[in-house]
């Protein structure tokens, strides 16, 4: 590298310190290479909004109805009381990117920060550039009224269940989501990239109600190309990505597995399986690190529950909701306290309180389940862990535990690479050393929760120019109060892109960056590291290249030359523990993948380490080692395609749970523990010993294998 | 016995098929495929079978024939066979000629009655001045009737407008380029189709209606004649309008196939695909008993046209012009074969802006439709009908058309094939 690089505190920045590191990084240092930098725009104000979530938790007096702690023009609030003395609130929405407005938003958050620590308040904020074009942002949304909803003919309120999918590229007009009379089972579809319209009831994008979908289908009389154009799902006169134009789309396939039915089925069951579809913006899917995902997931869940309440109020019954979210995030504390997991819990609580307020029967026990995949990173070499060297017998407890990592950053990588290191809350005496691939000399990096550190060329005199030379960045968070926090300390490291084509930045150096983190931690505790995902999702152009940990002690291949499935004791780099960082919550249903023909877990199917909750079960995602994937709907009606991976295992369990809930009378639903039910069914399959030999390691497969889809397919044919 | 495809002569034009890296396989869209009448490529699914040219005997075989004649001929007995004379110019003689000969005859029948007249479309209502071209049909009045000039051996002629096309403005093309960029996203998805559709994409229609080199041989000859007509008319119009290709407006287009060596509008692929869809539909379902068949053919034609935009070598407006021209020429062929009248069409690309190509907007329920985009009349169907009188039908083409009709069942007999 040319120049004289060293680590230094980031120049003082007025930004709120409660900003999560991804927000801070993108807003302060990452503007040239964040997602919108490469996108074609149509209007000057494309990508000129920010999406914001400010979440706080505080103690309150029992019975008190306190004034909201934080509000801002244009933002909505969802609040919830986990118990009598605690209030959690999520304040969210879009604000224009104008300096005056975002400036005053940040001031308001800084003011709020001053109260943290004074009163018992915890605070976490996310501000990111919204990946939305002008045409998707309404000037005057009507967020206070609800759409009308009438039950379709033949719906039995006690059997009604809602299956919701949050995904990418969903053809919600597909024949697999329609009844035999041609009407759709999709009650509401939110196309977040869609073109907004006058009187819209969603914060951005376009919402389609059932009668609108049916009307559009009627108008286009069997011409699906024209229908998709009418619904705004395929319109090439608009810039951007149009995933539904492709033959294979993740969302359509997943939703078919979760809730699809043959339109010719004579059984009347499908009318009770209602569908809510949410297609998140393409750029959110394309931003593979998942930085944007938390915000849009939260907004999607909130939308689904709002519409579920609408349906429940009409049917005078809390309708169960099963949400399928076939996405995984690599990072996070992996203890159930990722922002997405906490927000989900808060939104369910809010959902029940709202139903209660409207006197809907069974409000307090309203079922909301979320089913997620374990993720496909078992062999990605993106997780490492070091367990405390101290043992419980009280050998020198002051010995620090050390994790030493060699992080291989690829060349020609147009997107940044991120590493999250997580430590116990009580860890002390932390020290961090980072060496770059060229000098290989370890440099000590200060861990200061009030000041992120930058790695830049200090020989550049002008600060603005010096900022362009930032190729690495460290952010440290500690001591977040208990209430709404991760309950772990975090060291976050970002490396800038190694390919700077078209942007005015110095490229980071590819090669092995060595990271050594030391801390004193209690016996049995560990320091964990995860590298964020950086490879293109299905069907997208590649902007990033995946980085990984390099460790000579890690055995990639076994003695016969095949991929090694299991960890050894020596390497810091671990397969187990690659579980998706948003699938660690005890209340989620988490599903891994196995091969139907021989019962072997998919080589990619991630698993939990000892400190994490294990998945609940596995579903088939491949037929065999070489016949990959599961057949389900392609984008267009009448087509089938294969997709593999834990993404397609999860919706099979979603489908199963929806059917169980539909068949249970409402007063018995409260007694159903969905996780236990899934595990019980898996156990009963395993008891038949279908494959001979042992069932998969429970840290990857939970209670075992669940060939539900195959059983159901067979039953459908017999019907 | 060695058979060589003599009529490859027509295929010689294949080399002219633009920047064709794959040589004789018809080149990057266009006249090259004309060789189909004689050899591989073009309409023939299995090219050789449709070629049907006798070729020549190799030297060893010729020598053997000379020797065997010596052995069997015996004393010369003068003319001992009397099959009778053929009627000159009788369309039924078409059955006796080789396919390539029929192709030559039909090609002339069609092209000799078409002429191209350039004009300048005036600036009006905010539109810019742009070049245009009339595609005109030549009407012939038999001089032996009507008794005008009995001394002349040649009939009286007049031109009537079949279709006129006006070039979009430069700012329209700049707007259209954004669509080309957005469509590029589908390149990976559509690669197999794009690469297999560089020449005449006849198999893609064959898969819809079940074409076969023996069973539907005459239909395939009509299809080849249609493709040739489409290509030759398209090249004339392209020459008249002289429109630059997408990669001339930006170095970022980077098409995934070579940009062919002719102007961008109209898209020859669109003309060729829509004329084929039209003639196939009119031959296979003349009573319009099965609209789904027509819908599938048109959907395939649309997809072929759109794939060219995905590949980066066409603007969507090229496909609009090409689709209207293709359907018009298809109806024209049908008219000249079966004596029907057709409405003329006008394409004026000025004002198209960002509008995308959707076949449903210019063809619906068996009819071409007019298209207005904001205030611009992009497509107008109607005006003085082109009347095809007896002198304007083509007897050889009619013969061929009738043979093709016989190859298909009557789709109205909906009783399970009795």
Question: How do residues A428-460 score in pLDDT, each as one tens digit?
Answer: 999 999 999 888 889 999 999 889 999 999 999
Class of domain A161-376+616-714: alpha beta
pTM of the complete model beyond 0.80: yes
- Distances, alpha carbon B95 to alpha carbons A87, B108, B283, in Å: 91, 18, 19
> Which of A223, A236, A246 lies nearest to residue B182, judging by beta carbons?
A236
Helices (H) and strands (E) in chain B, counts: 13, 8
Look at A237 and B185 and tell me if their CB atoms are within 8 Å: no
Look at B360 and A226 and tell me if their CB atoms are within 8 Å: yes
Determine the average pLDDT of the residues in B35-57. 47
- Distances, alpha carbon B300 to alpha carbons A161, B285, B292, in Å: 40, 17, 12
Determine the average pLDDT of the residues in B232-256. 97
Binning pLDDT at 50, 70 and 90, where does residue B50 land? very low
Using one digit for the tens of pLDDT, what is the confidence trace for B103-123? 999 999 999 999 999 999 998
> Which of A229, A239, A539 lies nearest to residue B182, judging by beta carbons?
A239
Determine the average pLDDT of the residues in A68-78. 90
Determine the average pLDDT of the residues in A92-100. 88
Determine the average pLDDT of the residues in A272-296. 90
Short-list A697, A682, A638, CA closest to A175: A638
Instruction: Compute the distance between CA of residue B99 and CA of residue B5 in angstroms, rounded to an integer.
Output: 11
Report pLDDT for B154. Answer: 78
Look at A240 and B182 and tell me if their CB atoms are within 8 Å: yes
Strand order in the sheet with A321-324: A206-209, A186-191, A273-279, A161-167, A321-324, A368-373, A589-595, A617-622
Q: Is the pLDDT of residue B33 over 60?
A: no
Binning pLDDT at 50, 70 and 90, where does residue B14 land? very low
Chain-centroid distance, C-alpha A531: 15
Q: Where in chain A is the domain with CATH 2.60.120.1290?
A: 383-574
Binning pLDDT at 50, 70 and 90, where does residue B333 land? very high
Instruction: Compute the distance between CA of residue A503 and CA of residue A511 in angstroms, rounded to an integer.
Output: 21
Q: Which residue of B has its CA nearest to A230?
A: B358
Report pLDDT for B97. Answer: 94
Using one digit for the tens of pLDDT, what is the confidence trace for A594-628? 999 899 999 999 999 998 999 999 999 999 889 99
Report pLDDT for A472. Answer: 95
Q: Which residues of A touch B355 (CB under 8 A)?
A: 237
Q: Are B326 and B269 in contact (CB under 8 A)?
A: no
Q: What are phi and psi of B148, to 5 degrees?
A: -80, -55
Total CB pairs under 8 A between chain A and B: 40
ipTM for the predicted complex: 0.79
> Which of B181, B295, B358 lies nearest to residue A40, judging by beta carbons?
B181
Return the percentage of chain B with pLDDT > 70, whole number: 84
Question: Helices marked H in B312-394 — which ranges?
Answer: 316-338, 359-362
- Distances, alpha carbon A582 to alpha carbons A29, A588, A620, B225, in Å: 26, 9, 21, 62
Both tokens of B187, joined, read 């390149």
Report pLDDT for B20. Answer: 29
Contacts 24+ apart (CB under 8 A), A69-73: A69/A112, A69/A115, A69/A121, A70/A108, A70/A109, A70/A112, A72/A105, A72/A108
Topology of the domain covering A383-574: Jelly Rolls (2.60.120)
Neighbouring-strand partners of residue A124: A55
Helix (H, G, I), strand (E, B) or coil at B237: helix
Look at B181 and A236 and tell me if their CB atoms are within 8 Å: no
Q: Which residues of A touch B178 (CB under 8 A)?
A: 40, 42, 239
Chain B: give the shortest CA distance to residue A232, in Å.
13
Instruction: Compute the distance between CA of residue B136 and CA of residue B113 in angstroms, rounded to an integer.
Output: 8
Return the percentage of chain A with pLDDT > 70, whole number: 95
Neighbouring-strand partners of residue A670: none
Using one digit for the tens of pLDDT, what is the confidence trace for B350-407? 999 999 999 999 999 999 999 999 989 999 999 999 999 888 999 999 999 999 999 9
Q: Alpha-carbon torsion A198, A199, A204, A206, what sign?
A: negative
Chain A: give the shortest CA distance to residue B293, in Å.
13
Chain B: give the shortest CA distance to residue A241, in Å.
7
Q: Is the pLDDT of residue B4 over 60?
A: no
Q: Is the pLDDT of residue A703 over 80?
A: yes
Q: Alpha-carbon torsion A142, A143, A148, A149, what sign?
A: positive
Using one digit for the tens of pLDDT, what is the confidence trace for A335-350? 999 989 999 999 999 9
Q: Is the pLDDT of residue A269 over 70?
A: no
Report pLDDT for A692. Answer: 84
Q: Which residues of A touch B316 (CB under 8 A)?
A: 236
Average pLDDT of every residue of chain A: 90
Report pLDDT for A103. Answer: 87
Chain-centroid distance, C-alpha A182: 34
Q: What are phi and psi of A711, to 5 degrees?
A: -60, -40
Report pLDDT for B248. Answer: 97
Helix (H, G, I), strand (E, B) or coil at A151: coil
What DSSP string runs through A654-673?
A: HHHHHHHHHHS-HHHHTT--
Using one digit for the tens of pLDDT, what is the confidence trace for B166-187? 999 999 999 999 999 989 989 9
A440 contacts: CB under 8 Å, gap ≥ 6: A514
Instruction: Compute the distance between CA of residue B233 and CA of residue A263 in angstroms, rounded to an integer.
Output: 46
A276-290, B8-22, B310-324: range with highest mean pLDDT: B310-324
Look at B185 and A242 and tell me if their CB atoms are within 8 Å: yes
Using one digit for the tens of pLDDT, what is the confidence trace for A100-110? 888 899 999 98
Determine the average pLDDT of the residues in A37-59. 84
Strand order in the sheet with A49-59: A75-83, A86-96, A49-59, A121-129
Residues of chain A that touch chain B, judged by Cβ-Cβ distance less than 8 Å: 40, 42, 223, 225-226, 229, 235-242, 245-247, 539, 541
Short-list A490, A445, A516, CA closest to A331: A490
Q: Are A338 and A614 in contact (CB under 8 A)?
A: no
What DSSP string runs through A38-107?
A: G---SSTTTT-EEEEEEEEEEE--TT--PPPS---TTEEEEEEEEETTEEEEEEEEEEE--HHHHHHHHH
Q: Which of A246-260, B95-109, B131-145 has the lowest mean pLDDT?
A: B131-145
Using one digit for the tens of pLDDT, what is the confidence trace for A518-546? 999 998 899 999 999 887 777 777 678 89
Look at B182 and A223 and tell me if their CB atoms are within 8 Å: no
Report pLDDT for B11. Answer: 32
Look at A235 and B356 and tell me if their CB atoms are within 8 Å: yes
Short-list A460, A499, A495, CA closest to A475: A495
Instruction: Compute the distance between CA of residue A193 and CA of residue A239 in angstroms, rounded to an integer.
Output: 11
Report pLDDT for B22. Answer: 30
Q: Which of A63-67, A483-487, A617-621 has the lowest mean pLDDT?
A: A483-487
Q: Which of A27-31, A133-137, B20-24, B88-92 has the lowest mean pLDDT?
A: B20-24
Q: Is the pLDDT of residue A187 over 90?
A: yes
Instruction: Compute the distance between CA of residue A547 and CA of residue A415 in angstroms, rounded to an integer.
Output: 11
Q: What DSSP designation does B34 have?
A: G
A523 contacts: CB under 8 Å, gap ≥ 6: A388, A390, A391, A392, A397
Report pLDDT for B46. Answer: 33
Determine the average pLDDT of the residues in A404-408. 96
Q: Which of B185, B355, B358 to mutate to test the interface with A (most CBs of A within 10 A)?
A: B185
Instruction: Compute the distance between CA of residue A478 and CA of residue A446 in angstroms, rounded to an integer.
Output: 13
Report pLDDT for A657. Answer: 96
Return the percentage of chain B with pLDDT > 90, whole number: 76
> Which of B186, B355, B360 lies nearest to residue A237, judging by beta carbons?
B355
Cβ count within 10 A of residue A222: 12
Report pLDDT for B34. Answer: 30
Look at B186 and A245 and tell me if their CB atoms are within 8 Å: yes
| Residue with token string 């904020």 | A125
Q: Which residues of A touch B295 (CB under 8 A)?
A: 223
Determine the average pLDDT of the residues in B293-319. 97
Q: Are A505 and A454 in contact (CB under 8 A)?
A: no
> Which of A42, A226, A246 lies nearest to residue B189, judging by beta carbons?
A246
Q: Which residues of A touch B185 (CB under 8 A)?
A: 241-242, 245, 541
Q: Are A550 and A408 in contact (CB under 8 A)?
A: yes
Q: Where in chain A is the domain with CATH 3.40.50.200?
A: 161-376+616-714
């Amino acid at each position: 590298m040319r120049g004289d690089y060293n680590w230094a505190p980031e120049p003082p920045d007025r930004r709120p310190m409660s900003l999560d590191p991804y927000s801070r990084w993108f807003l302060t240092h990452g503007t040239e290479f964040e997602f919108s930098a490469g996108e074609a725009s149509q209007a000057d104000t494309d990508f000129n909004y920010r999406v914001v979530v400010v979440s706080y938790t505080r103690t309150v007096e029992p019975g008190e109805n306190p004034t909201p702690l934080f509000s801002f023009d244009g933002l909505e609030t969802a609040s919830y009381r986990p118990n009598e003395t605690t209030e959690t609130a999520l304040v969210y929405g879009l604000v224009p990117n104008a300096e005056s407005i975002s400036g005053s938003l940040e001031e308001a958050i800084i003011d709020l920060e001053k109260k943290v620590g004074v009163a018992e308040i915890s605070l976490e904020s996310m501000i990111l550039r919204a990946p939305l074009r002008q045409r998707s942002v309404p000037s005057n949304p009507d967020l206070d009224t609800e759409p009308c909803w009438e039950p379709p003919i033949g719906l039995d309120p006690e059997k009604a269940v809602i299956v919701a999918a949050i995904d990418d590229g969903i053809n919600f007009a597909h024949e697999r989501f329609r009844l035999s009379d041609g009407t759709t089972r999709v009650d509401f579809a939110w196309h977040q990239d869609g073109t907004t319209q006058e009187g819209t009831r969603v914060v951005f994008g376009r919402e389609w109600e059932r009668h609108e979908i049916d009307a559009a289908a009627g108008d286009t009389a069997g011409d699906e190309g024209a229908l998709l154009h009418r619904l705004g799902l395929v319109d090439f006169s608009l810039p951007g990505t149009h995933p539904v134009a492709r033959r294979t789309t993740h969302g359509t396939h997943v939703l078919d597995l979760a809730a699809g039915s043959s339109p010719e089925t004579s059984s009347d069951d499908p009318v009770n399986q209602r569908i809510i579809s949410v297609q998140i913006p393409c750029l959110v899917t394309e931003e593979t690190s998942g930085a944007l995902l938390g915000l849009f997931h939260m907004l999607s869940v909130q939308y689904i529950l709002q519409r579920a309440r609408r349906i429940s109020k009409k049917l005078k019954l809390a309708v169960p909701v099963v949400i399928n979210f076939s996405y995984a995030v690599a990072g996070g504390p992996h203890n159930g306290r990722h922002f997405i997991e906490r927000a989900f819990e808060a939104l369910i609580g809010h959902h029940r309180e709202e139903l209660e307020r409207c006197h809907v029967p069974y409000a307090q026990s309203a079922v909301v389940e979320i089913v997620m995949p374990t993720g496909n990173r078992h062999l990605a070499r993106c997780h490492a862990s070091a367990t405390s060297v101290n043992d419980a017998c009280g050998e020198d407890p002051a010995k620090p535990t050390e994790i030493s990592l060699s992080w291989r950053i690829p060349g020609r990588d147009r997107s940044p690479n991120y590493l999250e290191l997580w430590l116990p809350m009580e860890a002390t005496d932390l020290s961090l050393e980072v060496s770059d691939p060229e000098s290989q000399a370890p440099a000590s990096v200060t861990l200061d929760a009030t000041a992120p550190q930058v790695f830049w060329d200090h020989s550049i005199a002008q600060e603005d120019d010096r900022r362009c030379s930032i190729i690495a960045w460290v952010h440290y968070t500690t001591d977040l109060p208990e209430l709404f926090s991760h309950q772990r300390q975090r060291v976050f490291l970002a490396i800038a892109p190694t390919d700077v084509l078209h942007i005015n930045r110095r490229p980071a150096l590819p090669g092995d960056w060595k990271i050594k983190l030391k801390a004193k931690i209690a016996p049995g505790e560990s320091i964990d590291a995860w590298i964020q995902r950086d490879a293109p999702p299905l069907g997208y152009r590649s902007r990033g290249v995946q980085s990984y940990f390099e460790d000579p002690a890690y055995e990639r291949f076994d003695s016969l030359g095949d991929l090694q499935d299991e960890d050894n004791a020596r390497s810091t780099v671990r397969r187990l523990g690659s579980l998706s960082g948003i699938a660690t919550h005890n209340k989620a249903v988490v599903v891994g993948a196995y091969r139907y023909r021989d019962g072997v877990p998919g080589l990619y199917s991630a698993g939990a380490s000892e400190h994490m909750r294990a998945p609940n079960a596995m579903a088939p995602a491949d037929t065999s080692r070489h016949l990959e994937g599961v057949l389900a709907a392609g984008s267009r009606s009448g087509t089938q395609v294969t997709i593999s991976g834990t993404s397609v295992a999860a919706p099979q369990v979603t489908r199963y749970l929806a059917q169980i809930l539909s068949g249970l009378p409402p007063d018995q639903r409260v007694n159903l523990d969905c996780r236990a039910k899934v595990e019980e069914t898996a156990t009963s399959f395993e008891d038949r010993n279908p494959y001979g030999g042992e069932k998969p390691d429970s840290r990857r497969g939970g209670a075992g294998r669940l060939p539900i889809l195959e059983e159901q397919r067979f039953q459908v044919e017999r019907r | 016995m060695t058979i060589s495809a003599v009529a490859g002569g027509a295929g010689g034009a294949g080399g002219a098929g633009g920047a064709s890296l794959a040589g004789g396989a018809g080149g990057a869209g266009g006249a090259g495929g004309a060789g189909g009448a004689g050899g591989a490529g073009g309409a023939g699914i299995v090219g050789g079978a449709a070629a049907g040219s006798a070729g020549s005997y190799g030297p060893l075989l010729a020598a053997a024939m000379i020797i065997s004649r010596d052995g069997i001929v015996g004393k010369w007995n003068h003319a001992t066979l009397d099959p009778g004379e053929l009627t000159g110019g009788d369309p039924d003689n078409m059955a006796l000629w080789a396919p390539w000969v029929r192709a030559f005859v039909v090609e002339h029948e069609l092209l000799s009655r078409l002429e191209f007249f350039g004009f300048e479309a005036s600036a009006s209502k905010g539109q810019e001045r742009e070049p245009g071209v009339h595609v005109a049909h030549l009407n012939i009045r038999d001089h032996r009737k009507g008794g005008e000039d009995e001394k002349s051996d040649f009939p009286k002629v007049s031109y009537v407008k079949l279709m006129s096309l006006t070039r979009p403005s430069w700012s329209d093309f700049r707007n259209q380029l954004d669509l080309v960029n957005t469509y590029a996203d589908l390149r990976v998805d559509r690669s197999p189709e794009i690469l297999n559709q560089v020449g005449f994409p006849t198999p893609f229609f064959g898969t819809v209606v079940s074409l076969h080199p023996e069973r539907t041989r005459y239909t395939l000859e009509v299809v080849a004649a249609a493709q040739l007509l489409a290509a030759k008319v398209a090249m004339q119009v392209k020459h008249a309008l002289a429109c630059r290709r997408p990669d001339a407006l930006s170095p970022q287009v980077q098409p995934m196939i070579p940009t062919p060596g002719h102007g961008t509008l109209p898209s020859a692929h669109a003309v060729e695909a829509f004329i084929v869809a039209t003639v196939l539909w009119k031959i296979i379902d003349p009573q319009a008993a099965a609209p789904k068949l027509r819908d599938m053919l048109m959907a395939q034609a649309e997809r072929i046209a759109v794939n060219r935009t995905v590949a980066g070598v066409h603007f969507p407006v090229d496909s609009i012009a090409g689709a209207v021209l293709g359907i018009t020429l298809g109806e024209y062929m049908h008219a000249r074969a079966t004596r029907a009248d057709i409405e003329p069409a006008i394409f004026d690309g000025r004002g198209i802006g960002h509008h995308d190509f959707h076949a449903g907007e210019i063809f619906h329920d068996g009819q071409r439709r007019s298209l207005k985009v904001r205030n611009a009349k992009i497509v107008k169907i109607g005006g003085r009908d082109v009347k095809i009188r007896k002198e304007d039908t083509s007897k050889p083409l009619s013969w061929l058309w009738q043979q093709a009709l016989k190859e298909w069942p009557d789709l109205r007999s909906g009783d399970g094939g009795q």
